[in-house]
A and B are shown apart, each in its own frame.
Chain A
Amino acid sequence: MPDVDLSETPLRELNRALHALEPGTNETHWHVANPAGRHSIAVGLDAPVTVEIGGNVGYYCAGMNKHATVHVRGNAGVGLAENMMSGVVRVDGDASQAAGATGRGGLLVIGGNASGRCGISMKGIDIVVGGSVGPMSAFMAQAGTLVVLGDAGEALGDSIYEARLFVRGTVKSLGADCEEKTPTDEDRSILADVLSRAGVAADPSEFRLYGSARRLYHFHVDNVDAY
C-alpha cells in the first residue's frame, strides 16, 4: 500500500508513478497525504487501483479517470473528474464548479453540495450529489444521469440533449428546452441502479425527472426566442 506525502513528494512524481501502473499491479491501494488543495492530483489514471486522498484537492482532481477509484476525504475544486471515462470518484465534502464536466462514463459521487455547471456537457457519466447543485447544472448535457438529493439552482438542464436529471428537492428554474418528464419504469430502474452503485439510500419515487423537450434539436427560426 504505497503512501505518498505531497508535502515531500512532487505532484509530478505521484502522477507519473500512478501512470506507470500496469493493469495487473499489486500496488492497488494508494494513500495520498497532505494534498493541500493542489491541482491535478491523480489525473489521467488508467488502471483499476484505488487512490485515497486525505484532504482537500484543487482543480481537476481525477481528471480523465479510467478504471481507477479515487476517494477524496475533503472538498474538491473546479473540474472534479472532468472528462472521466470509467471508474469511480468520490468526494466526501463539497465540489466546486463544473464537477464531472464532459464525463463520458463512470460514477462520480459528491457527498456535499456541487457548485454551478455540475455535469456540464456530460456525455455518459453518472453523477450523484448528496446535497444541492448550483446554477446551469447539466448545461448541454448529452448523456448519462445526474441525481441530486437536494435542490437544483437556476437554468437546470439548459440546452440539454439526452441526459436524465433526477432531483429530489426543488428546482429554481429550468433552462431552455428542459422539461419535467413522467418517469418510465426504465427511468426508475436506472435511478435505482445509480443510487445503489453510489451507496446512497434513497427512495427513487421521491425524485422528479427532467430531460429534453427536443424542441431545439433542429435549428429553426420559430425557436429563435429560445436561443
Chain B
Amino acid sequence: MDAPAPKPPGTLPRFSATFDPHTISEIRRAAATGIYDIRGFGAKRKLPHFDDLLFLGASISRYPLEGYRERCGTEVVLGTRFAKKPVELKTPVTIAGMSFGALSAQAKEALGRGASTVGTSTTTGDGGMTPEERGHSSILVYQVLPSRYGMNPDDLRKADAIEIVVGQGAKPGGGGMLLGQKISPRVAAMRNLPEGIDQRSACRHPDWTGPDDLEIKIEEIREITDWQKPIYVKVGASRPYYDTALAVKSGADVVVLDGMQGGTAATQEVFIEHVGIPILAAIRPAVQALQDLGMHRKVQLIVSGGIRNGADVAKALALGADAVAIGTAALIALGDNAPELEAEYEALGTVAGAYDDWHEGRDPAGITTQDPVLAARLDPIKAGRRLANYLAVLTLETQTIARACGKSHVHNLEPEDLVALTVEAAAMAGVPLAGTNWVPGR
C-alpha cells in the first residue's frame, strides 16, 4: 500500500489589515447591540506623535550644561496678559481638567495632593469644585464648561485661575454623557439633576456663540473676579491657528490646546479616533498664530494630549508651548490600569493596560468610579505621592534634555533643537527630517 501523499504546504491564516481582529469584533458588537461603543481614554491608534521627533543635543557647535550642577529653570508664569494675580508654577507640567463625577472624590483629592507637592496646578471639571479638591490643591484652575454643572460664583472666586472650555481633544465639537450608574446622590446634588439618570453635558455654551460673544463673556468673568485671575480658553485641536488667534482676540490670558490623544471619561469610540488632530500637528500652527499676533510668550500656551514622559514635555516646549497638561498619565500614576488588578480587569472583560470603560463606574482601582466601596480602595495620600513622584520625574527628564541642549531654562528649548524621524512629523512640527535640512512645505 502506498504511503499517503504528503500534505502540501499551506499558508498561515491571514488577517486583513483593513478588517483586523479589532475591527471585526467591533462590527460584531455593533451588530449585536445596535449602539455605538462608548469608552474612556483617548485615541488608541498609532498617530504621528512626539516619538517621531529627536533632540540633537549639544556638540562642537553647541555647549551643554552640566547635569546635576548647573541650574536649568523650570518655573512658568501663566496669565501675565491681564490678570492681577498670574499663576506661578514650579514645573511646566500641570494637571488637566477632570470632573468629580467622572472621578471619585479620592482621586480628585489625590490629584490635588500630588500637584501641590511639586508646585503645580490641578483643574476641576464638569460638575464643579469639591471641598476635597480645593482643600488639597494649592493652585486650582476652575473650569467654566457648557453644561455649567455646579457653576458657582463663590467657587469662581476661590479659584486661582479660570478655564473656559470650548472643547477637548478627544471630542472637538462634542458634548459628554455621564451615565446613570455614576450619578451618586452627591454628584446629582452638585449638578441639580435626579440620581441615576444619564446626564448630558452640552456641546455649546448656553449664553455665548462665537468669538465676539466670547470676548464679552471673558469680560464678565473678569468683572466678577475683579480682574484678579488668569482666564484660560481651552480648545480641542482641530483648527489650531484660527482657534488660537480667536482666543487671543477674545482676551484669553492662556490658550489650552488639547490634541486627539487627550483623554475623556466617556465618548463614542468613533469620535475619539476620527475627530480632531494629533497634538504634534497642532502646536506649530498655534504658536504661529501667537507669533503673527505678537503674543507668543505674552499669551501662554498649554498643550496636552498624550504627554507621557519628560521627552514629550521637552518637545512640546521646544515647539513653542509654555507648559503641558497631563490627564491620562496622571490617572495611571494614581494607579489606573495597574497590573496588580489583572484578575479584576479580566472579570470586566479586559486586561490591565487596556481598561477604558471609565464611564461604567466599575473601576477596580477606585479612580473612575462613584461606587463608595471601590472608591475607598484608593488611598489619596499614597496615590498623591505616586503622582508627585511621577511629576518630579517628568520635570527632571525635561531638565536633562534641556541641559543636553545647552539651555539654562526649559523655555529656551526651540525648534532648532529638534529633527524629525518621518516626513509627516517633519511637516507637522516644522523641523527638518533627520540628517537633512529639508522641512516639507518650505
Contacts and interface: CB of A to CB of B under 8 A. Distances in A.
B148 interface: yes
Interface string B175-217: 0010110000000000111100110101000111000010011
Contact of B153 (A85, A142, A218): A85
B254 interface: no
Interface in B134-172: 147-148, 151-154, 156-157
Nearest to B34: A221
Contact of A162 (B154, B157, B194): B194
Interface residues of B, number: 35
A102 B224 contact: no
Contact of B213 (A78, A162, A219): A78
B117 interface: no
A219 B179 CA distance: 8
B226 interface: yes
B162 to A, nearest CB: 12
A15 B177 contact: no
A218 B194 CA distance: 12
A201 B152 CA distance: 33
Contacts of A142: 191-193
Contacts of B219: 39-40
A interface SS class: loop
Contacts of B154: 46, 66
B11 interface: no
Interface string A165-194: 000000000000000000000000000000
A102 B207 contact: yes
Contacts, number: 110
Given A78-B213, A82-B207, A161-B194, A219 B177 contact: yes
Interface residues of A, number: 42
Interface string A54-89: 000011100110100000000000110011010000
B271 interface: no
A218 B223 contact: no
A78 B216 CA distance: 10
Nearest to B144: A83
Contact of B224 (A11, A43, A97): A43
Which of B156, B192, B227 gathers most chain A CB within 10 Å? B192
B207 A66 contact: no
Contacts of A11: 223
B212 to A, nearest CB: 10
Contacts of B80: none
Contacts of A64: 153, 156, 224
Interface string A123-158: 110000000000000011011000000000000000
A101 interface: yes
Contacts of A123: 148, 191-192
A218 B206 contact: no
A15 B223 contact: yes
B31 interface: no
Residue of B148, B179, B194, B226 with most chain A CB atoms under a 10 A cut-off: B148
Contacts of A124: 192
A117 B202 CA distance: 14
Contacts of A59: 213, 216-217, 220
Contact of B217 (A60, A97, A102, A161): A60
Interface of A: 11-12, 15-16, 19, 39-40, 43-44, 46, 58-60, 63-64, 66, 78-79, 82-83, 85, 97-98, 101-102, 104, 117, 120-121, 123-124, 139-140, 142-143, 159, 161-162, 217-219, 221
Interface of B: 33-35, 147-148, 151-154, 156-157, 177, 179-180, 191-194, 197-198, 200, 202, 206-208, 213, 216-217, 219-220, 223-227
